[in-house]
Amino acid sequence: MRSHRDKTAVVGRTGGLACAAALFVPLLAPAETHAEVRPLAVALEYSAVSDCPDVSDFKGIVHGRLGYDPFHEAAPRRVLVEIASRAPAFEGRIEWRDAEGNWAGDRTFPSRSADCGELARAMAFALALQIQLSASATAPPAPSAAEPAEPSGTAQVQAPPPSPPPPAPLPSEQRNLPAPSLVAESPTRPRPLLAVGAGALVGFGVASSVVPFGRVFGSIAWPHWSLEMAAEVGLPTTERRAEDRAGFSQQELLVAVAGCGALARWSACLLAKCGALRIAGKDVEEPASPWGPLFETGLRLAVMQPLGSRVYVAARAEGLLLVTRWRVTLDDTPVWTSSRFAETIGLDVGVRFP
């Protein structure tokens, strides 16, 4: 007399831990209990800025995750993947649409660094998991099978064969299946990015002649706005009279604060500068070296170009209103009066820290 151990296949229902079940159940369940999962096909619309992976790279990540290519232009379900620049980082979005083109769910992916490739990989893994879960949800349940134990004696009772699984839906029937459900997620607040750098600029109208400046700065930035503080030092310039070579020199020392709004690589800023102006007589009998206050306010327009994930360059132009004005006299004769308006153009190089 021989006895056989009954074999049973248990088919459960996925609940709130669907993601965990999708990852670990295939490793623990016996091979013969798996339901037949038909590959799910979707049509992909991919849009990304120039610094991000292209559509073939994105498809390759999803293909490698699933083990098959799920993207077909004629598929009834559509998924829209978009990665936009939100200086100084990026923001991604995945949107599902059903066969009729109606919205079926979406999710946003705020980037926490300036590496678009990292964001694209995270979005590709999330999309692959959603396709895998949707395909499992539409697969027919696996049948339960049992082998009867052999009874004692010569008589043998054979259990009826298991019922065949229900037929898989035809491609034409898949159009009526529900679209994958995505819960709209509130985007987490991204961490600010810090940056430090240095630059050079040229000022017109801030002194009696064109003045070169050097500057250092630090900033803290969110996706759509930033705050910057900087120190600027102008090179000394000298003006002399032709007849006796008497003259004066002047130099500006400034601290600047700018609040900026950003759209992609462009930014516009409100700024204020305050500091001191030093004027010293040259080749005069009684030279004076007064220090006076300076206050300037105005607007800045800048455009940024990344040079990798951390380094960037930015070109900028400023229009300034000189709130405080100065007049220089030699022998009681006015030789220079500061202008009411001034302009600067410059170039910065910065390094960002996530």
Block residue for tokens 């300037």: 296
pLDDT per position as a tens digit, 88-97: 778 889 999 8
* 169 and 217 co-located in one domain: no
> How many domains in the chain?
2
Least confident interval from 23-37, 129-143, 177-191: 23-37
CB hemisphere CA count around 267 (13 angstroms): 30
The reported pLDDT for the residue numbered 193 is 87
- State the pTM of this model: 0.51
* 164 and 295 co-located in one domain: no
Q: Does residue 11 form part of some domain? A: no
**171 — pLDDT class (breaks 50, 70, 90):** very low
Highest mean pLDDT among 61-70, 87-96, 144-153, 283-292: 61-70
pLDDT per position as a tens digit, 303-315: 999 887 789 999 9
* 227 and 266 co-located in one domain: yes
Q: Which tokens sit at 217?
A: 């700065």
| 34 has a pLDDT exceeding 60 | no
pLDDT per position as a tens digit, 211-243: 999 999 999 998 889 999 999 999 998 888 777
More confident residue, 268 or 246: 268
Contact (Cβ atoms closer than 8 angstroms) between residue 261 and residue 224: yes
* 84 and 163 co-located in one domain: yes
Contact (Cβ atoms closer than 8 angstroms) between residue 39 and residue 135: yes
* 158 and 283 co-located in one domain: no
* 111 and 241 co-located in one domain: no
The domain boundary, picked from 176, 206, 237, lies at: 176
CA distance 67 to 110: 27
Q: Does residue 10 form part of some domain? A: no
* 33 and 152 co-located in one domain: yes
**124 — pLDDT class (breaks 50, 70, 90):** very high
Domain housing 142:
18-176
Contact (Cβ atoms closer than 8 angstroms) between residue 36 and residue 167: no
* 212 and 270 co-located in one domain: yes
The reported pLDDT for the residue numbered 318 is 97
Neighbour count for residue 196 (Cβ, 10 Å): 12
Percent pLDDT > 90 in the chain is 35
Percent pLDDT > 70 in the chain is 71
CA distance 54 to 120: 10
* 341 and 245 co-located in one domain: yes
User: Could you tell me the CATH number of the domain that includes residue 331?
Assistant: 2.40.160.20
Closest CA to 202 of 215, 193, 187: 215
The domain boundary, picked from 176, 211, 239, lies at: 176
- When pLDDT is averaged across residues 44-69 and rounded to a whole number, the result is 90
